[in-house]
Chains A and B, each alone.
Chain A
Amino acid sequence: MTESDGDSTGRSLLSDPRLIIAKRDLSSLSREKTIVLALLIQLFVAAFSSFLVVGLTSLYNPGSVSAGEVVVGVAGEHDAPLVRAANEQDGLRAITYPTPETAREAYQDGRVHAVMLAGDSGNRIDVEVIAPQESIETTLIIDQVRTLLEAVERDERIARSDHLDRSTVPVPEKVDASPYFGFTYTVLVPLLLFLPPFISGSVAVDALTEEIERGTLELLRVAPLSLVDIVDGKALAMILIAPLQALLWVTLLGWNGIDIANLGQLLTVVTALTTLVVTLGLSLGVLTAKRREAQLLYSVLVIFGFGILTFLPEHPATTVAKLAVDSPTGTTTAHVVGYAVAAVALFVLARRLVARTDPEGL
């Protein structure tokens, strides 16, 4: 009594109970090392998907990875255009055989990887391709063969342009482009930016339902703060960590030579989406008061919501991709603003819901 408490009017900003709740939740995350684990998981998911895509791209587009040369046996009456095109193609070498039989023989003996027999069928060149049974090598061979045949097709179309009503568009020169560029910005970056919000929401559900289930919420409620304060504090902590993680990923990507543009807008999107899912998670926690139910509903509804967003003019992933790759449009900006407004609106609504909730049921 003699000491300074008793009047709660003169609270300083830093001793706001919401901040204290947020601080405790954050320190509990770091004490349990869960935040480290969370970062590792995200890193792993990113590495895993990159690994997957590099693997897949190398299988589809083997030229991008492997240096091996494909040797093709060519025979048949229309072998000349094939050989011509082959001479202009890297990574493929054509050997002409006098007859299809000798070519097949060479294939059987293992002297060539594949055989192309260019016969005639009406007015077309009928190419019979013989390749080995499925293996990674086959994938590479077929890829090279296809590139070759597409070149032949282009040449032939030009040669026959008199018989065509429409003209084709010239194909631009090949440039030395990274096959992973599109993936990086349209899949990897959105993935890395959307994982932190999702995890934050899930942790928010736990942070609240755990207090309810263990009975510790009651002690917070006898302290001079309201249920809204408690929920606010938890929301604050969980919303705060998402953009920080996003920032970390952007920095890491930057070190790897992947520059991310429009950082401010991206962080706004991340913060807004985090606010949306965290608010959803905490509302579910307040409504169900049970972890199991809240978590189940949370994951289902977040996925559902993500699905709904495909009906927007621009999916959030596209918004993120366009911002990151620095091709934003007015639509993109409108979406960013939209997410921010939606986040604030939902947050206000959720606070009203919490304020109306009867805490005795928790």
Chain B
Amino acid sequence: MSGGPPRPRGGDTTTDDRSSRTGRLGDWSRTRAENVTRIARWEVTKNAGGVDRRTVIIAVLAVIGLGAMAPVAVSQGVSLDQGIYRVGVVPEDPYYDPVFLDPTFRVQNPSSAAVEAGKQEIRIVGPQVREYADTTKGRAAVDELRSSTMRYNDGIMGLEDNQSAAFPVVVNLSYVQRDATRVVAPGEQAIAVDSGEDEEAGGGDGAGGGGDGSSDDGSGDENGDGTAGDGSDAGGDGDSDVTQPEGGSNVGSSTIGARLTGGGTSGAPSDITPPFPFRSLVLAFVFVLPLNFVIQAYGSTILSERINRRGELLLVSPVSRGDIIVGKTLPYFAAAIGVATAITLVLRGSAISVLAIVPLAMLFLAATFLGAMFARSFKELTFVTVTITVSLTSYAFVPAIFTDVTPIALISPLTLVVRDLQGQAIGLGQFAFSTLPPTLTALTLFGLGAGLYREEDMFTQRPIPYKVLDALAGPITRRRSVALVTAVLLPFVLVAELVVVAFMYPLTQASIPFGVIVFAAFVGIALVEELAKSLHVYAGYAHSRFDDTLRTALVVGLFSGIGFFLAEKLTLIARLADLQEVEIGQAALGEQALLQTGVPLPILVVALLLAPLALHVVTASISALGARRGRRSYAVALVIAVAVHVAYNLTVVTALAQ
């Protein structure tokens, strides 16, 4: 963007000979490379000396200590919900053993008064639950007792000599591909069944990496050490840790450890676990984790350039700021990719995993770079970094949970990693769909940050919102450049819209009416698009880049609308990933859906091109008119523009539905 063309270091390119053009290009790139390397090397050596040996030793010792602690802690069985339910039971009762063995419960003397007083959740008399507190806690306690009893029973039965009577049912589970993809059952919402490639049945989950379908019969105790460690990594599911079996045989253990290995496909009924690519998911998380540490250091180094004007000297040196930024970023990028490569090697992934991490690493670094350009102090940087960590990790991680569920998952490059670790093939289109938006977003962020990487912006104390406007207004030099900025912002729009869609997806699983979800998605998407079309226009007005005439506002709106329309056509890339299979995706990407209808061609052209063009121009003009008059009227105009946009989309969808 406004990074400006990097200047050659020396001013010695005076030979204007045509034949030497390639030579000059060579010189130019060599100077670039030299400058970048020099700054990168300086960055590495400076920061290697920046943290002294004592710090490194202590940190390493602490990490080693943690590693040493982990197995011990796990073997002791850390259960967070230790003793949260109190059960009144006496040793003579049959329930005593299951209650006693499950650390979730605390054994008390049965007392009706205690239950009344809320000091006991369950009172057991003889072989039955006589009384339980009628609270959420009481009911949860009974539910927990139910599952511990089942586990206990399985354990007891494992001790039996007559195993065929103890485990009278043997299950063999196989996954079989079929042609029909929908089961039409009464009162049921049809769910599309994923049409995978391989005909092979059985152990489809074994491909999840380890491939050891370990729990092959009732006596399997696969959740010994390693897998349980993974379980605590996962950390999400409180209930499952409870079920750490108390020694003996643990036929029906349902710890995360068991789930991680992909679940059994044969054995007693309780051995069967619903398939879930959790293992790959946890492993994928390992890829994202180091990025968060890298950006900590990276943000520090960028901000320290800005503290006390330290970076000024670098700015006046005969090195372009593009070189400075690339040079300072390169070591951290290399570190991120290096770690990703190492993890890939350990996990036996392919090059695709590393390639998929590249855009993610860029995105993390770019966001941190921009954040460090915005932050006014280290304190503020800490918060900016945490925000980036949290939001980008969830951007990468949440969609990847649904890897095997819906193609929307591909909006996160991490999904590619999960698929790669599962040994699935990845198409070129899918790869592009997954990696292009974050890459473009990262480049845009770097561009915006680079626009601020100059004397007058680096060393000011402006609050972050103003800095954002500064960054946006930077590239706007005349009315025409509005179109360009709008177009450049499109990757954000794409990513943000896909995230909106992805967040709507779980809602479709819950019992929320489909119409409501679609409407919510429309509002979210319209808001994203209208912001992208108008925020920089507002920034331009705030920086007095435009004169205050009605005509200018309309022209600016026109440019913004056209810029958006042209760039939006890029979203056709979504088709590469078969996104239209997903109903919400269809609705969300609105106009594209028109292609699939049998409308006559001329009308189609009008509808496909002119209508959206008109929409974007109209809404962009509305918000531009508002932006002309200051912040409050901009907000009002934005709301109107969003409303118009939503109304339009609803019209299109209802028209299509007929």
Direct A–B touching, Cβ under 8 Å: yes
Given A183-B239, A327-B85, A37 and B383 touching (CB < 8 A)? Answer: yes
Given A124-B168, A152-B269, A169-B97, A178 and B65 touching (CB < 8 A)? Answer: no
Given A133-B193, A182-B239, A297-B55, A172 and B175 touching (CB < 8 A)? Answer: no
Q: 1/0 contact trace for A157-199 toward B, CB 8 Å?
A: 1011001111111111111111101110111001000000001
Most buried by B among A56, A137, A149, A183: A56
A318 within 8 A of B: yes
B18 within 8 A of A: no
B76 within 8 A of A: yes
Q: A210 to chain B: which residues have CB within 8 Å?
A: 377-379
A166 close to B159 (CB less than 8 A):
yes
B178 close to A139 (CB less than 8 A):
no
Shortest distance between the CB of A64 and any CB in chain B (Å)? 10
Q: B142, B177, B510: which contacts A177 (Cβ < 8 A)?
A: B142
A310 close to B78 (CB less than 8 A):
yes
A136 within 8 A of B: yes
A357 within 8 A of B: no
Give bound CA distance, A181 to B142, whole Å: 12
Given A129-B171, A310-B69, A321 and B84 touching (CB < 8 A)? Answer: yes
Q: A111 to chain B: which residues have CB within 8 Å?
A: 183
A149 close to B238 (CB less than 8 A):
no
A292 close to B160 (CB less than 8 A):
no
Given A183-B239, A185-B84, A190-B80, A125 and B274 touching (CB < 8 A)? Answer: no
Give bound CA distance, A62 to B275, whole Å: 12
Most buried by A among B165, B169, B184, B296: B169
Q: B196, B259, B506: which contacts A55 (Cβ < 8 A)?
A: B506
A121 close to B170 (CB less than 8 A):
yes
B150 close to A54 (CB less than 8 A):
no
Considering only CB atoms, which chain A residue lies closest to B386 in the complex? A41
- Main SS class of interface, A: helix
Given A59-B274, A314-B82, A132 and B178 touching (CB < 8 A)? Answer: yes
B165 close to A318 (CB less than 8 A):
no
B116 within 8 A of A: no
Give bound CA distance, A305 to B205, whole Å: 37
A74 within 8 A of B: no
Give bound CA distance, A355 to B175, whole Å: 69
Q: A301 to chain B: which residues have CB within 8 Å?
A: 58, 62
A18 within 8 A of B: no
B248 within 8 A of A: no
Given A157-B165, A178-B139, A297-B58, A110 and B181 touching (CB < 8 A)? Answer: yes
Stretch at the interface among A1-9, A44-52, A263-271, A336-344: A44-52
Q: B149, B173, B184, B277: which contacts A131 (Cβ < 8 A)?
A: B173
Shortest distance between the CB of A240 and any CB in chain B (Å)? 16
Most buried by B among A37, A133, A140, A326: A133
Q: 1/0 contact trace for A115-157 toward B, CB 8 Å?
A: 0000001111111111111111111101101100110111011
B555 within 8 A of A: no
Q: B136, B143, B152, B166: which contacts A157 (Cβ < 8 A)?
A: B166
Q: A124 to chain B: which residues have CB within 8 Å?
A: 164, 167-170
Give bound CA distance, A118 to B64, whole Å: 52
Q: A38, A49, A62: which contacts B383 (Cβ < 8 A)?
A: A38
Give bound CA distance, A185 to B300, whole Å: 36
B55 close to A296 (CB less than 8 A):
yes
B127 within 8 A of A: yes
B164 close to A122 (CB less than 8 A):
yes
Q: B177, B273, B274: which contacts A133 (Cβ < 8 A)?
A: B177
B34 within 8 A of A: no
B655 within 8 A of A: no
B150 close to A52 (CB less than 8 A):
no
Give bound CA distance, A32 to B238, whole Å: 36
B380 close to A128 (CB less than 8 A):
no
Q: B277 to chain A: which residues have CB within 8 Å?
A: 134
B337 within 8 A of A: no
B336 within 8 A of A: no
A169 close to B149 (CB less than 8 A):
yes
B153 close to A186 (CB less than 8 A):
no
B196 close to A134 (CB less than 8 A):
yes
Q: A203 to chain B: which residues have CB within 8 Å?
A: 379, 382
Stretch at the interface among B397-405, B425-433, B563-571: B397-405
B238 close to A187 (CB less than 8 A):
yes
Stretch at the interface among B387-395, B468-476, B524-532, B584-592: B387-395
A317 within 8 A of B: yes
Give bound CA distance, A211 to B380, whole Å: 14
Give bound CA distance, A329 to B85, whole Å: 11
Given A136-B405, A149-B269, A127 and B140 touching (CB < 8 A)? Answer: no
Considering only CB atoms, which chain B residue lies closest to A110 in the complex? B180
A127 close to B168 (CB less than 8 A):
no
B129 within 8 A of A: yes
Give bound CA distance, A295 to B58, whole Å: 13
Q: B189 to chain A: which residues have CB within 8 Å?
A: 68
Give bound CA distance, A178 to B137, whole Å: 9
A138 close to B84 (CB less than 8 A):
no
A260 within 8 A of B: no
Q: B387 to chain A: which residues have CB within 8 Å?
A: 37, 40-41
Give bound CA distance, A327 to B120, whole Å: 9
Given A34-B379, A152-B269, A156-B168, A60 and B274 touching (CB < 8 A)? Answer: yes
B506 close to A134 (CB less than 8 A):
no
Give bound CA distance, A137 to B277, whole Å: 14
Give bound CA distance, A266 to B402, whole Å: 36
Shortest distance between the CB of B460 and any CB in chain A (Å)? 14
A108 within 8 A of B: yes
Give bound CA distance, A304 to B382, whole Å: 20
Given A71-B185, A150-B150, A327-B106, A292 and B51 touching (CB < 8 A)? Answer: yes
B487 within 8 A of A: no
B456 within 8 A of A: no
A152 close to B169 (CB less than 8 A):
yes
Given A69-B188, A291-B300, A178 and B136 touching (CB < 8 A)? Answer: yes
Give bound CA distance, A159 to B169, whole Å: 12
A248 within 8 A of B: no
Most buried by A among B167, B201, B509: B509
Given A139-B276, A291-B300, A293-B51, A169 and B194 touching (CB < 8 A)? Answer: no
A295 close to B296 (CB less than 8 A):
yes
Q: B55 to chain A: which residues have CB within 8 Å?
A: 288, 293, 296-297
Shortest distance between the CB of B393 and any CB in chain A (Å)? 9
Q: A293 to chain B: which residues have CB within 8 Å?
A: 50-52, 55
Give bound CA distance, A136 to B402, whole Å: 9
Q: B82 to chain A: which residues have CB within 8 Å?
A: 314-315, 318, 322
A134 close to B169 (CB less than 8 A):
no
Given A133-B196, A291-B300, A297-B55, A209 and B378 touching (CB < 8 A)? Answer: yes
B118 within 8 A of A: yes
Q: B85 to chain A: which residues have CB within 8 Å?
A: 327
B83 within 8 A of A: yes
Q: A109 to chain B: which residues have CB within 8 Å?
A: 180
A321 close to B188 (CB less than 8 A):
no
Closest 9 A-B residue pairs measured CB to CB?
A110-B180, A149-B269, A181-B140, A156-B168, A177-B143, A163-B165, A177-B139, A123-B164, A135-B194
25 contacts between A and B (CB under 8 A): A32-B379, A56-B401, A68-B189, A107-B178, A108-B179, A109-B180, A112-B183, A129-B272, A133-B175, A142-B273, A168-B153, A169-B149, A171-B149, A177-B136, A181-B137, A182-B238, A182-B242, A206-B378, A297-B59, A304-B63, A310-B78, A311-B69, A311-B72, A311-B73, A322-B82
